[in-house]
Amino acid sequence: MSNLKEKLQAFHEIASSPKEQLKKYLEQNKKVVICAPVYTPEEIVHAMGIIPFGTWGADIEIKEAKTYFPAFICSVMQSVLELGIRGDFDGASAIIIPSLCDSLKCLGENWKSSVENIPFIPMVYPQNRKADFGKAFTKAGYERVIADLEKATGLSFDDAKLTESIEIYNEHNAVMRQLSDCLSDYPEITAADRSAIFKSAFYLEKSEHTALVKGLLSELTNTEKTANNKIKIVTTGILADAADLLKIFDDNNMQIVADNVAGESRQYQVDAKPAETSLDSLAGKFAEMDNCSVLFNVDKAIAQYTVDLVAKYQARGVIFVMTKFCDPEEFDYVIIKKACAEKNIPLLLIEIDRQMTNYEQVRTAVETFKEILK
Amino acid sequence: MSNEVKKKYVPDPNSAKFKLGKIAADAYVDAQAAKDRGELIGWCSSNFPVEIPETLGLSVCYPENQAAGIAARGGGERLCNISENDGYSNDICAYARINLAYAKTKDAPEQNMPAPDFLLCCNNICNCMIKWYENLAKELNIPMIIIDIPFNPDYDVSDAQVAYVKAQFLDAIKQLEELTGKKWTEEKYQEVMEYSGRTSRAWLAATAEARHTPSPFNGFDLLNHMAVMVTARGKKEAAEAMEVLEKEYKENVQTGNSTFRGEEKHRVMFEGIACWPYLRATSTGLKSRGINMVTTIYADAFGFIYDDFEGMVKAYCNVPNAMNLEHARDKRVKLIKDNHVEGLLVHTNRSCKLWSGFMAEMSRQISAECEIPHVAFDGDQADPRNFSEAQYETRVQGLTEIMESKKGGC
């Protein structure tokens, strides 16, 4: 196996074994806190010496969670709850759930009764996040998370430690942005590979993940670039990690050259900048976050952002990967569609769900889209 | 065949029903008149602090009320289809789909309202509201003022939340003053606050008359009257009309009358927004079995009692869809106990993820604490395609049988 393949394989193994990763940290006597999407303040968890362990649910059959959620709540929430109920997070000290969409609010409320052995810590973010009163509220939310974490783990918070963690997270952000750019030059890296690199970040302490990604980047720079005959696309949405979906992209010779997917690049757009305290720095980071369906933006900047990504990376089209029942994305889709149409950018909408077992409809749609792009 | 000519029903102009109906209808007429005078008018989300436009003397319309009206008169599916053809998923709230279609077509014979010059959005009801209004602002190219009142995962509202929301109230007032040239005066605010208090106290007192058996009113009345509570609470006419309603219900108790026709055999609480396209079916399904829906969370939700600006801010943080499960549950438990409710009928509303997303667990907890049965049915507040009358009938029948057996019937 080549060095490159070995390095890629490591990401695949981590991305496909969250339970084993969790077990590994627990066996090292580390405290672990589950971080539900989105914009969970992992830096705070990290600064307290706890492993922030991300979850976006899993492609599993929903059984027990159905007694809590109606069918029309998105499968990310449903499967996070299902994993909690069936014990996949056992050993974790708590779960932090932000309430940035209506379904996330419900996840937190349902969690309290259904997974009693893992305390629920809410993170309430403001939508008017850019003004000083918004930043003050974000900071108050972080302080509440800290108090709850201290109670759940017995560990304490120190602002100086947060400075160090912010540096680690900023470096990880930068490395992930660099990675996404770099991969566009290496068509042999498949959509499945790319997804595994992003997904594995949830299950590793961030400096460990940074080291792995740096290793891959260094390997790539030593790899000769080959002619790129792939069809360059930009993806946007909440989540695009289903193995069957990625296989369809790869089978159709498509290369994701950039994305605005919440579980991939969207979270790495903004770094924390120096401020009076590290907590202020983190609140400032959230204030700057944008181009996201769950963050208020009256200008719908996400539409222009999508168009700009296409231009910057010379993509042939956009694939909007819609997580079924995600209404924030469903609203944004209409505006993004319009913005793309105005620039003659082909756009394909595909709807996915964590409980999907048959992707043939998606395959047909992607095949047709490929013909259009040709 | 009888030769008798059926007389057209003419409500008594002194009745609460007439007065409240007129206030709701006049809202559209007044907004159109303001628009015709060249004033800037707004579209406003239902739990946006009505005190702000009222004090500033701004005319606003309520798209949720309009969508409910359109849906009740049979236009919901037509407008939903227009939005869906533009790319909006049919999983999106039907009020939003109806309104986004209306913003485009600007005409609905069921209920028209003037086009907006600005938007007032508050998400204490749901975050879907933000997305809906963002899209309106983009499509119509008009300003949007948002007051973000986050869902509160704790039982009580924190000082940090009050400070955040209060700052936004003040900011919204400033933005509106600059936009419209109207001025906020403390004198006018005191007047609005007084009317709002009077309206709220009368509403709470009127709905509390359901504690009597039989109840002096049919709970479906509340679904109609709440429109005034939402939109016109700060107006003098609303205070006066609600006081008439309170008086009528009290008189009904004295005289043994009720707006519920027939014998009240069972008393239930209805949970969720009404299925406006099937108001008759859902109402008849209960009435035919002698079931009176004596209360809903609306009975409690729109009683905004406060003494000052900060109290008002807190009241808006404490609306039903912004509070955690335990707080929401306890409010319902109190209504159930105060009003001798025997069963809980839950509308699992396809349009409302937040309301339905933890209702199953809340229903179980309410049921256990109050020792009453609960059943749920699938429906939608405005899209007629998401309701099955047969399923509704079966569920209500099931609830009836349990309530009867608890009473010792067969």
Give a yes or no: residue A15 inside a domain.
Answer: no
User: Do residues A120 and A95 make contact, with C-beta atoms less than 8 angstroms apart?
Assistant: yes
Task: Give the rounded percent of residues in chain B with a pLDDT score beyond 90.
Answer: 91
| Predicted local confidence at residue B299, as pLDDT | 79
Are the beta carbons of B135 and A136 separated by less than 8 Å? Answer: no
| Predicted local confidence at residue B10, as pLDDT | 76
Cite the beta strand spans of chain A per DSSP E: 32-35, 51-54, 94-98, 120-123, 231-237, 254-261, 317-323, 347-352
Q: Are strands A254-261 and A347-352 parallel, antiparallel or unpaired?
A: unpaired
Give a yes or no: residue A271 inside a domain.
Answer: yes
Integer distance in angstroms from the first to the last C-alpha of chain B?
40
pLDDT above 60 (res B204)? yes
The DSSP secondary structure of B298-326, one letter per residue, reads HHHHT----SSHHHHHHHHHTSGGGB-HH
Are the beta carbons of A102 and B126 separated by less than 8 Å? Answer: yes
Q: What number is the average pLDDT over the span A240-257?
A: 97
Are the beta carbons of A73 and B127 separated by less than 8 Å? Answer: no
Residue of chain B with shortest Cα separation from A298: B134
Chain B residues with CB-CB distance to A100 below 8 A: 127
pLDDT band at B410 (very low <50, low <70, confident <90, very high): very low
**CATH pick for B16-181 out of 2.60.40.10, 3.40.30.10, 3.40.50.11890, 3.30.110.30:** 3.40.50.11890
Q: CA nearest B143: which of B117, B168, B121?
A: B117
CB proximity under 8 Å: B 127-156 to A: 127-128, 130-132, 134-135, 137-138, 143-144, 146, 148, 150-154
Distance CA A230, CA A226 (A): 11
B257 secondary structure, DSSP code: -
Which residue, among B353, B366, B391, would best test binding to A if mutated, counting the most A CBs under 10 Å from its CB?
Answer: B353
List CB contacts of A131: < 8 A, sequence separation 6 or more. Answer: B167, B171
Distance CA A123, CA A145 (A): 7
What digits encode the pLDDT tens for the residues B27-57? 999 999 999 999 999 999 999 999 999 999 9
Chain B residues with CB-CB distance to A113 below 8 A: 325, 361, 365
Q: How many CB pairs under 8 A join A and B?
A: 150
Q: Which amino acid is at B212?
A: H
Are the beta carbons of B164 and A325 separated by less than 8 Å? Answer: no
Tokens for B278, please give them.
Answer: 């099937």
Chain A residues with CB-CB distance to B163 below 8 A: 133, 136-137
Which residue, among B83, B89, B159, would best test binding to A if mutated, counting the most A CBs under 10 Å from its CB?
Answer: B89
Give a yes or no: residue A65 inside a domain.
Answer: yes
Chain B residues with CB-CB distance to A322 below 8 A: 89
Are the beta carbons of B153 and A67 separated by less than 8 Å? Answer: no
Distance CA B296, CA A19 (A): 44
State residue A259 phi and psi, 5-degree precision: -145, 155
Chain B residues with CB-CB distance to A300 below 8 A: 134-135, 138
List CB contacts of A306: < 8 A, sequence separation 6 or more. Answer: A234, A236, A260, A318, A336, A339, A340
| Predicted local confidence at residue B343, as pLDDT | 98
Chain A residues with CB-CB distance to B134 below 8 A: 296-298, 300, 331
| Predicted local confidence at residue B4, as pLDDT | 58
Chain A residues with CB-CB distance to B359 below 8 A: 70
Chain B residues with CB-CB distance to A321 below 8 A: none
Which residue, among B83, B131, B366, B385, would best test binding to A if mutated, counting the most A CBs under 10 Å from its CB?
Answer: B131
Residue of chain B with shortest Cα separation from A97: B153
Give a yes or no: residue A135 inside a domain.
Answer: yes
Range of the domain at A134: 20-177+226-374
Q: Report how many helices (DSSP H) and strands (DSSP E) chain B contains, helices first.
A: 17, 8
Give a yes or no: residue A103 inside a domain.
Answer: yes
State residue A254 phi and psi, 5-degree precision: -100, 145
What digits encode the pLDDT tens for the residues A345-366? 999 999 999 988 899 999 999 9
Are the beta carbons of A334 and B135 separated by less than 8 Å? Answer: yes
Distance CA B317, CA B164 (A): 11
Are the beta carbons of B91 and A327 separated by less than 8 Å? Answer: yes
Annotate A326-339 with b (16+ C-beta within 10 A) or e (fewer).
bbbbbbbbbbbbbb
B105 close contact with A: CB closer than 8 A: no
Q: CA nearest B14: which of B240, B320, B232, B167?
A: B240
pTM assigned to the model: 0.96
B186 close contact with A: CB closer than 8 A: no
Give a yes or no: residue A328 inside a domain.
Answer: yes
Secondary structure of residue A32 in the 3-state scheme: strand
Tokens for A53, please give them.
Answer: 């362990």
| Predicted local confidence at residue B1, as pLDDT | 45
A314 secondary structure, DSSP code: T
Q: What ipTM goes with this model? A: 0.97
Q: What number is the average pLDDT over the span B257-268?
A: 95
Helix (H) or strand (E) holding B32: helix B16-36
What digits encode the pLDDT tens for the residues A128-187? 999 999 999 999 999 999 999 999 999 999 999 999 999 999 999 999 999 999 999 999
Give the number of domains in chain A.
Answer: 1
CATH number reported for the structural domain that contains residue A59 in this entry = 3.40.50.11890
CB proximity under 8 Å: B 222-261 to A: none
For chain B, give the mean pLDDT: 95
Q: CA nearest A323: which of A353, A294, A357?
A: A353
Residues comprising chain A, all counted: 374
The DSSP secondary structure of B318-350, one letter per residue, reads TSGGGB-HHHHHHHHHHHHHHTT--EEEEEEET
User: Do residues B231 and B50 make contact, with C-beta atoms less than 8 angstroms apart?
Assistant: yes
Place of tokens 């790869």: A250
| Predicted local confidence at residue A282, as pLDDT | 98
B344: β partners: B269, B374
pLDDT above 60 (res B409)? no
| Predicted local confidence at residue B302, as pLDDT | 81
Chain A residues with CB-CB distance to B158 below 8 A: 140, 144
Distance CA A352, CA A113 (A): 28
In terms of DSSP H, where are the helices of A184-300? 191-200, 206-221, 243-251, 278-288
pLDDT above 50 (res B21)? yes
pLDDT above 80 (res B187)? yes
How close, in Å, is residue A286 to chain B by CA atoms? 16
